[in-house]
Amino acid sequence: MLELAAELLPLLRSATAVAAVTVARVARSAPRGAGATMAVTADGRVLGSISGGCVEGDAVVLAHSARVGGAPLTARLGFSDDAAHAAGLACGGSVDVVAYRVTPDAAVIAALDAAAAGRGATVGIVLGGASAGRVLDEVALRAAVAKAAAVLDQDALHAAVAEPPAPSDNTLREADSNATARDGRGSAAAAAAAAAAAGRTPSRPGVPLAELDALIAHRETAVLPAAVEGADVLVLSHAPMPRLLIVGAGEHAAALCRVATAAGFAVSVCDVWETLVTPVRFPGAVSLIAGLPDEYLAAIDQDALDGRSAVCVLTHDERLDVPALAAALRLRVGFVGAMGARATVTRRAELLRERGIAESDIARIHSPLGLDLGGATPDETAISVLAEIVAARHGGSALPLRERTGPLHRRAPVSGTAADTSSASAPRVACGIPLPTGAP
């Protein structure tokens, strides 16, 4: 839902009825990952895609059913090997999806506004129980999940009191004895023991809350089981746009701004030449700065940066790029790169050492910048630069996929989150055909 924020906002504000289908989990291979969303309006308009394949038709049907019926629906869409072959498709994967109404609630509008503006946003959609279909903003979601975690802790406490620790558990027995001597009941030790046994501590009050924290921190989409009033919750967490800070305003900088903007980066450009740093030259940039690059980088708000942020120095002038690189290495960014010939790279490294920059920091600089794609034009060079940034962020090999083995889509699960959101009762369909029980 959040990935379609710009398209959904005008529809909701005009009271257009909309339902969405979001991928909650991917098994085997699929073109898109968790969080991919398709939205369908009452008049049949389709926004977005969850796979780009045959299951799109089934997703439209699910969205229509959820919009008319009101309650969220879950399903597994995919292909058995035979069905995939018959349909002329060979991916063999499946996706667990959730279909739900998108309502113009204040929580929904606020989250969509944030996502459309490139800021982070999180919402939760309750999938069952009395609150089925309710959309919670991050504050309400945390409160509801924390309440559920407290109930789990209380249940664990009751179990611990009803079933005292085994005699061989000396540590737990001593803690219980100490607590009994203190208050005559032993409840503090029992609660601590129960919480520890469940992986919970005072700073981690419940496993569901820890899972929610992990989802938000990693900006992932997943279903949290029994997280709100005993019902599952689909958590949609949208990351802010990654930042790309470009130093320099030449043709290569303009080309990099174009391709990075298309890839979803929030691009800022800084150069000393005011006549070059213009909206006409950089129409996609979110900010344009005319001034000394090192001063700009030194003054930037570090809270606006994270490990996905990148700095690319494209000035070709050591009077500018060396101070800029020194400033960039002090920022909380995941990627620092600089264009230049090999002789320039060597010369820059010497000048950075003279400034007291550590060898380990100099080694962080990606220079010469870009992957070897063989291109020569500014646009081709920009593609090679962006490719290196993306590969560095995701740990990619930068090899052609045909030279790799194993799964094409390497989507690692978030540590601490629900590993499997599938349900034996969830219907499985492929191009409208129910899949047999036990099909992969």
Q: Write down the pLDDT at residue 79.
A: 55
Beta-strand (E) ranges in 196-284? Answer: 221-228, 231-238, 243-247, 266-271
Q: Give the 3-state secondary structure of 69-137.
A: HCCCEEEEEECCHHHHHHCCCCCCCEEEEEEEEECCCHHHHHHHHHHHCCCCEEEEEECCHHHCCCEEE
Q: Which long-range contacts (CB under 8 A, 24 or more apart) does 386-393 make?
A: 386/256, 386/259, 386/260, 386/263, 388/337, 389/244, 389/260, 389/310, 389/312, 389/335, 389/337, 390/263, 392/334, 392/335, 392/366, 393/242, 393/307, 393/308, 393/310, 393/334, 393/335
Q: Tell me whether the omega of the peptide bond preceding residue 225 falls within 30 degrees of 0, making it cis.
A: no
Tokens 């909380």 found at: 332
Of the options 3.40.630.30, 3.40.50.2300, 3.30.420.130, 3.40.50.720, the CATH number for the domain spanning 243-394:
3.40.50.720
Scan for tokens 């802790």, then name that residue: 153
For residues 104 and 15, the answer to whether their CB atoms sit within 8 Å is yes
pTM equals 0.69
Write the CB contacts of 210 (distance below 8 Å, at least 6 apart in sequence): 199, 200, 204, 416
**Of 142, 116, 137, 333, nearest in space to 240 by CA:** 116
Q: What's the whole-number mean pLDDT along residues 397-404?
A: 87
Per-residue confidence (pLDDT) for residue 52, from 0 to 100: 67
- Between 84 and 396, name the one with better pLDDT: 396
What is the three-class DSSP state of 327? helix
Mean pLDDT, rounded, for 269-282: 96
CA–CA dist 26, 76 (Å, integer) = 10
Residue 183 has pLDDT above 60, yes or no: no
Please say if the pLDDT value at position 396 is more than 70: yes
What pLDDT digit, counting tens, does each position of 123-145 carry?
A: 888 888 888 888 888 888 888 88
**Would you place residue 422 in the very low, low, confident or very high pLDDT band (cuts 50, 70, 90)?**
very low
Quick check: 345 pLDDT over 60? yes
- Segments making up each domain of the chain, as ranges: 2-104, 139-221, 243-394
- Check pLDDT > 50 for residue 267: yes
CA distances from 161 to 174, 188, 197 (A): 15, 10, 13
User: What's the pLDDT tens digit per position in 360-377?
Assistant: 999 999 999 999 999 999
For residue 178, is pLDDT > 60? no
Q: What crossing angle do the helices spanning 187-197 and 138-162 adopt, rounded to 10°?
A: 120
